[in-house]
Structure 1
Amino acid sequence: MSNLTVANRYADALFQVAKEQKTLEQVNDELQLLKTVIESTPEFIQFLVHPKITLEKKRVFIQESFGGALSEASLHTIYLLIERKRTDILVPLINKFKELSYEAQDKAEAIVYSVKPLEASEQAHIVKLFAKKAGKKHLEVKNVVDPELVGGIKIRIGDRIYDGSVKAQLDRMQRQLIAGTR
């Protein structure tokens, strides 16, 4: 069985538990915190997979590091992955859980690329306009500053991209000029 399939099964199980306990948003936030730690600290996973470190030391490390920040369901899932030597699927599990959680909450993530950081009012306006286009009740905006856009914004919601940047318009004009059309 592939790692992605296994990660999806664990994510689905955790999703069912969080849904029953009505803690979807909380568990998702906890898992995003854990993902940030994993991505910024490679030593974290190295510690968890090290064969000479006992399971008990790994459990204590997780408890001391995240005990107050993680719910019981999240902690037990991590403990289970450590015991079964499956910590390599933590990030795919977190990604799948986020996908399931957002779907259940009729929510989507919008990655907004702009030349400068967006203000809260601009983000709220984007949410209002693009939530309807995406067919969701709410969008969670993640702003990425990209000076190469020259101006305007580019929005990615799932597999859809709405590109209203000056760079995209210049690229289109360049293709038209090369093709000889107007």
Structure 2
Amino acid sequence: MFGSSRESLAGLRTAVQSTRSAADFRSSASQVLAAAGVLAAEKSLRQTLADAGTASVARIALAESVFAGTMAATSMDVLRQAIAVRWSSDADFVEAVETLGIQMLCIAAQEADALGAVEEELFLFGRAIASSAHLQMTLTDPALSSDAKAVVVTTLLAGRGNEVTTELLAHTVTNLRGKRLDAAIDALIEVAADQRNRLVAQVVSAIALDTQQSDRLKAALSSLTGRDINVNAVVDPGVGGGISVRIGDDLIDGTVANRMASARRQLLND
């Protein structure tokens, strides 16, 4: 998401924060996320609602007629605001509405003092998928219905996960829209961390970092970025040694495997 779309989403995400005290906020969060699913499935509808060539009043009226009876006052107001601003594409519009729904669910968890737990559960679910080819194939199988995929998630998390975690993951596995599942879960984690005013560092090392190493890494990254850091550490013996750190789109790869690959490329180019 770039240009006007990025600016529009940033403004909407700030505005959503002011609605957190609404009595219908928790249910509205689910409704906004559900609306994103409808928009993703209905090409003509999303194109019309995102069309800046049509007056926003007319587009908002259409949305109100389509979603009447399924959205509360707060959720409908969030959708109105999303329709009223400019998007570079209808795909950006859908992604923005989805992001707002995710953010609202994270705010609801934060209000219940559970957002840290939700973020941790999302990370652990992502690791479970990474370690199970069968689970990954099941949740990305195009022959499996969306309802069946959602049931897999709810069954796996029954009695273990926060309801917000379950809702976020059930939505995500049924609304990938061409995205990799691991990347989609990472995006959820980033929204949750951002709501806590933190950045997420995805760290890969050949052996597990001990507490002192993890704390030193957090301190160094916090100093570098000016933000609190959550370290999500993954052990991969295949990297040989060293560590790689990814924060958003930025990658620092100091692994032995990367240095060897760089050396091979240099030899081939000489």
- TM-score per shorter chain, which class? 0.5 to 0.7
Cα 1:22/1:164, change in 2 over 3 Å:
same
RMSD: 4.4
Q: Distance in 2 between matches of 1:64 and 1:117?
A: 30
Structure 2: runs of 5 or more not aligned: 1-39, 41-90
TM-score normalised by structure 2 residue count: 0.45
Amino acid at match of 1:87: T
Residue of structure 2 equivalent to 1:161: 251
More strand by share: 1
Residue of structure 1 equivalent to 2:223: 132
Q: Distance in 2 between matches of 1:75 and 1:120?
A: 30
Cα 1:143/1:73, change in 2 over 3 Å:
closer
Q: Distance in 1 between matches of 2:244 and 2:162?
A: 36
Is residue 28 of structure 1 aligned with residue 115 of structure 2? no
How many residue pairs align between the two structures? 167
Cα 1:49/1:32, change in 2 over 3 Å:
farther
TM-score normalised by structure 1 residue count: 0.61
Amino acid at match of 2:200: E
Residue of structure 2 equivalent to 1:98: 189
Where do 4+ consecutive residues of structure 1 move more than 6 Å?
A: 57-61
Shift of 1:48: 10
Cα 1:96/1:13, change in 2 over 3 Å:
farther
The answer as to whether partners of 2:106 and 2:195 remain within 8 angstroms in 1 is no
Q: Distance in 1 between matches of 2:103 and 2:186?
A: 11
Identity %: 20
Cα 1:153/1:30, change in 2 over 3 Å:
closer
Write out aligned runs for 1:19-58 (5 A): 19-38=110-129, 40=132, 41=135, 42-44=137-139, 49-50=144-145
Highest RCO, 1 vs 2 (Cα 8 Å, sep ≥ 6): 1
